[in-house]
Structure 1
């Protein structure tokens, strides 16, 4: 009869409601987890500085806490369901006592190295809530699966990663632009309270089920033996390779292909979305992607060794597509190897351990082992060896022809691939031969598809394509010792013999150059030419500050500015990376040695080191600390500006270098100058000689307008212009976002 619900209908409705409750709980937990990571990192910037070892320490803390959370969820599964609910709710409440999120007041401990103190600080600050929230995904799935009629729990892991993806995007797009750190922390606390309520409701939904008061160890034993070590090892590999590839893709893109702001969000977002596809109940999409993944690996993976700065937006897109397809294929295979629900938390613990191993290899081991991002092609190759392959031709099995002719065909195809690779190497790096290179690449990919029945042959064609597609240049650069790698970046020192010029590049970004002609070895080039703002400022320094001026320079680079020093001046350089200093002390660049041999060089984060100096330590301070196109936000806040002006004498001059392809920093500097009561002028230099000099934007600031007037008088023929104040809000340590200042049109070209 219409309008009457049967008992079975009510049961189905109840199960649907319960599934929605668990999905909501997992979504909220994962959202909060990926929202708190960048939030705590932003909080730590002013206190710890922007040194990459700080980020590496933070990453290790997060991965260790995530692994601990998964381990806790696995151990908790030994208890009865009711005890699990009580224990987990109790830990959530205890962790909530540490909120709102913030850095604890832990001073540096005597005798404790910074490498240990920073993880301790971060662990104490975020550890309790991160640990207990990280257990959400596996624990909620286990509770969901406790009802045999609830259905398979694996799709809930897709919901977990969808929540993570949402949190990842929400921080740079919403939280950071709209909320101060204080309000971010308060909103996150509200989200945590919602999570505790959802967990309590989820626990209540299973509280009265039959057997909820009994330990589950017996049920797990009845479900079958634990997976063997081979299976667990394969789980680890299938988790580690996509995790490592996600990080290596970010390094490869930002270093050698297409440096741009917020680029790190794209690989991480694609990595998280791959779980959504791979762990979904509907298997059609993951099978389709897995089928085409080998072709994508052959084509886009052929650019994995590209390192000469010839990458384009299309290559960057192909690299991201490669990551997405590989992650879906490997995570899809991981899903196919999943155990029964009784082993659910063991499975996720192995996945977490594998992800941590991939991250440790890429973020910590690789910079120590390699001079370039060699981990990227290695991980692409590892993916080719692990991903499912469905050959179009199964002749290796003897379906079409005998084994003997099949082997002859294989040798002929590999020989043909070698010929194509040899030809591709001749055309790959010449822009005028792009169509020829593309045609050869397509034929090489087709050859790889033909030999997919032999995995070793498939991998061999992939390696051949990598080497031919610009990889030979990368290999030669390594063998010649041109590159240096540190936790701060990958640097290439290259001699252009035809121009008698030595260059220093950080990935695709030029950081300086020096003439190899002794007659011009002291000439300041690139951003520091005769028309640049910093050249004019240093030329005017004797008139502004007298003959014994004290000059500070943040960012050493090649040392180009050293030869702008005058007799009687005292110079100090601040450099965060010891590898950069070694370029000057080893003689690769001689500006420092030849022009300011008595200069003092301070190694460390500039803002922290300047804060340690006595007031009025400099008459002129030059800030030139950007790395590639990354913006060290903590060096451009009102608090940072206060550090700079404190380090300057009352009539001191501050010079900021803000040249950037993708970020318009003029409104930020204008707002900060207004906030700090500073006079400000701008100098845009468009040099006619583009072979020696680079367009640059320098900003001059001072407490006294008369200082800038003296600068203008000392720069005849080189106009300085007022900096337009658009009314933008000044950046602060509590609230800063680059999003409103991105030049979106720059991405099209």
Structure 2
């Protein structure tokens, strides 16, 4: 152990970052009963965290005017004040008005975790500054790698350990204990620097920061570079999350992977040993061109290859951009200023992706735009030397690059057009794609050709098709997802939510009221609604959670009382404007209540419905807060004593049967399941529907129609608002 006590400062930074990123998913999990399960919820939460991080870094920078003793005293007081909000509990505020979710969610997170998060967020730059105050400290920047390693560990600990093992109340209490231990570590750090020189850290020779640094104050051009190098990876991390959950595969907690790799990229980029960072810098241009093209090419196909390509691209590109950021770092006397600018850049990237993009764009256009931003910033030195410098004549090089751009554009367009009809590429098409990508490596010879080549590949391998859809006005985006209208070859009209078919209406008046997709007459919900009069008489009261294109409306019989619940006004607009006419043809007078159905049902009178249908999906994922013990209690309250609850549990990635069985057992409900394998190429899809009731009388009537069977036995602990984990129920083979 040296007098500088690097181990103590490293441990303190690790602990603070661990707590910081352990609390992020914990608070998001607390908020689930109040949210609709949309991918943008996490982006909104991340925007709050980035804003608080910016505030913490600004506070750390402003503290530089004081002596180290005063800095330590002030920071300990701030930590103690943040601790007054512990243990953390969700702020009690009114639910959002429809359309205001993008602002309501950040406000909820700010009130819930703001003080404690702000106090810890200043740790990394502040403690690095204190460490550098010792004459024997050496380079302080690798401590930032330790900070992000702690962040990465905290982020993974939550879904793998904390969420599966502990209810939220215990999670919050253990986190509060960790916060107290952190304060003790900070006090130890302050004591370790007692007597050190106060005020601004004196400038040091470049050798003291591992060969980097400057005796001159950093100029605005370099500051602009810092902003770009921090904003693009931050935005790319969030756009990758949205891109994956919208266009590749929708599964809960998928955001953990992009955020975890984003944090890990700092640990590699800021490490004292530069070998791994140098390797990533060399690979990044190749990965950007290849994986960016593959991700765009497979967008909307729920393709695992595209998911893997997007994640790898994020990681490698983030390491390369952060490595360039590290190489441009200033003298330690400007350390807090450097991290302040970094946090501003990160917040700008989050602002663009979480708030501006959902309003400005009809698709995840932020993702290809940020890929282009990365192309403009990636270090190209090794490739310029490897390719560009081999052709001495600049005019000849320019001709070669322009010719390569034209060939790539036409070949990629031809390949994309030929692949539209078939989801699986032939061997010849794969060979053509690999040939195009190999040719594209020439673009790295110069910056202009690299940016232009990246744009050409993104545009020709899918971007042009998305542009056409945008111009045609057949797509809309809201806080809860991206919806696309598609007319099929036979004239049928379908609505896509991300990669999932949300409904189909047949062409022609004779077929326009025929139930389709997961709601056909042989589906569980179809069988249940067709027997509504037989079970409850001609005045049956039906509630449907999740409007979709309104397919279920055409099961309505004369005299029945129907009510629909829909969280997203955009979904209702497709019916109001007449694109889908199920609602207007079959249930024109039935009300559609806009808002989160769980909250709306909770506010309604008891025994309101005879049959309640739960069919709320966010693309392919069912919002978790609709599948908890408390949620089932709300549904029971809304149902008449002999009412029937019908739940849609079709899911490619999670086994929901044992979850529903456990929920039913906890509420003493009888259950049966209908697995409809009816699948034709036009309009009928396989589906799984569960019927739940207090007694067997009505379930027996359903079983008379045939096709119903017993539900799988319950497994695991009952899901509650306080505890739920999807890990035991993942269908791993479907990810391959």
Q: Which residue of 1 aligns with 2:685?
A: 694
Q: Which residue of 2 aligns with 1:41?
A: 28
Tell me, yes or no, if structure 1 residue 739 matches structure 2 residue 723.
no
Shift of 1:115: 6.7
- Equivalent residue for 1:195, pick from 164, 168, 182: 182
Shift of 1:435: 2.8
User: Matched residue of 1:23: which SS?
Assistant: helix
| TM-score under structure 1 length normalisation | 0.92
Number of residue pairs matched by the alignment: 726
Q: In the alignment, is the contact (CA less than 8 A) between 1:142 and 1:153 conserved in 2? A: yes
Tell me, yes or no, if structure 1 residue 595 matches structure 2 residue 586.
yes
- Tell me the alpha carbon deviations over residues 352-397 of structure 1, each in whole angstroms, 9 at most, x when there is no partner: 1111111111111111111111111111111001111135465998
User: Matched residue of 2:444: which SS?
Assistant: coil
Alignment map for 1:544-555 (pairs within 5 Å)? 544-555=535-546
Alignment map for 1:284-683 (pairs within 5 Å)? 284-306=275-297, 309-390=300-381, 392=383, 400-429=391-420, 430-431=422-423, 433-497=425-489, 499-683=490-674
Q: Which residue of 2 aligns with 1:5?
A: none
CA 1:445–1:115 in 2, change beyond 3 Å: closer, same or farther?
Answer: closer
Shift of 1:224: 4.6
Q: In the alignment, is the contact (CA less than 8 A) between 1:51 and 1:605 conserved in 2? A: no
User: Matched residue of 1:207: which SS?
Assistant: coil
Q: In the alignment, is the contact (CA less than 8 A) between 1:227 and 1:339 conserved in 2? A: yes
User: Matched residue of 1:157: which SS?
Assistant: helix
Greater shift, 122-131 or 444-453, is seen at: 444-453
Greater shift, 378-387 or 424-433, is seen at: 424-433
- Equivalent residue for 1:136, pick from 116, 123, 126: 123
- Tell me the alpha carbon deviations over residues 264-300 of structure 1, each in whole angstroms, 9 at most, x when there is no partner: 1111111111111100011111111111111111111
Unaligned runs of 5+ in 2: 206-212
Alignment map for 1:687-726 (pairs within 5 Å)? 687=678, 689-713=680-704, 715=705, 718-726=706-714
User: Matched residue of 2:531: which SS?
Assistant: helix
- Tell me the alpha carbon deviations over residues 551-575 of structure 1, each in whole angstroms, 9 at most, x when there is no partner: 1100000100000000001111000
- Equivalent residue for 1:205, pick from 177, 183, 192: 192
| TM-score under structure 2 length normalisation | 0.94
Q: Which residue of 1 aligns with 2:109?
A: 122
User: Matched residue of 1:452: which SS?
Assistant: helix
Q: Give the Cα separation in 1 of the matches to 2:596 and 2:301.
A: 31
CA 1:287–1:217 in 2, change beyond 3 Å: closer, same or farther?
Answer: closer
Q: In the alignment, is the contact (CA less than 8 A) between 1:307 and 1:474 conserved in 2? A: no
CA 1:471–1:55 in 2, change beyond 3 Å: closer, same or farther?
Answer: closer
Q: In the alignment, is the contact (CA less than 8 A) between 1:618 and 1:649 conserved in 2? A: yes
Alignment map for 1:69-88 (pairs within 5 Å)? 69-88=56-75
Q: Give the Cα separation in 2 of the matches to 1:70 and 1:106.
A: 28
RMSD: 2.4
Q: Which residue of 1 aligns with 2:209?
A: none
CA 1:410–1:641 in 2, change beyond 3 Å: closer, same or farther?
Answer: closer
CA 1:553–1:24 in 2, change beyond 3 Å: closer, same or farther?
Answer: same
Q: Give the Cα separation in 2 of the matches to 1:380 and 1:104.
A: 37
Greater shift, 371-380 or 450-459, is seen at: 450-459
Q: Give the Cα separation in 2 of the matches to 1:108 and 1:698.
A: 30
CA 1:390–1:420 in 2, change beyond 3 Å: closer, same or farther?
Answer: farther
User: Matched residue of 1:356: which SS?
Assistant: helix
Shift of 1:198: 1.0
Unaligned runs of 5+ in 1: 1-12
Q: Give the Cα separation in 2 of the matches to 1:340 and 1:266.
A: 33
Q: Give the Cα separation in 2 of the matches to 1:579 and 1:121.
A: 23
CA 1:407–1:396 in 2, change beyond 3 Å: closer, same or farther?
Answer: farther
Q: Give the Cα separation in 2 of the matches to 1:652 and 1:451.
A: 65
Q: In the alignment, is the contact (CA less than 8 A) between 1:302 and 1:466 conserved in 2? A: yes
Shift of 1:19: 1.1
CA 1:151–1:561 in 2, change beyond 3 Å: closer, same or farther?
Answer: same
CA 1:48–1:245 in 2, change beyond 3 Å: closer, same or farther?
Answer: closer
CA 1:226–1:442 in 2, change beyond 3 Å: closer, same or farther?
Answer: same
Q: In the alignment, is the contact (CA less than 8 A) between 1:241 and 1:358 conserved in 2? A: yes
User: Matched residue of 1:627: which SS?
Assistant: coil
CA 1:86–1:643 in 2, change beyond 3 Å: closer, same or farther?
Answer: same
Q: Which residue of 1 aligns with 2:166?
A: 179
User: Matched residue of 2:445: which SS?
Assistant: coil
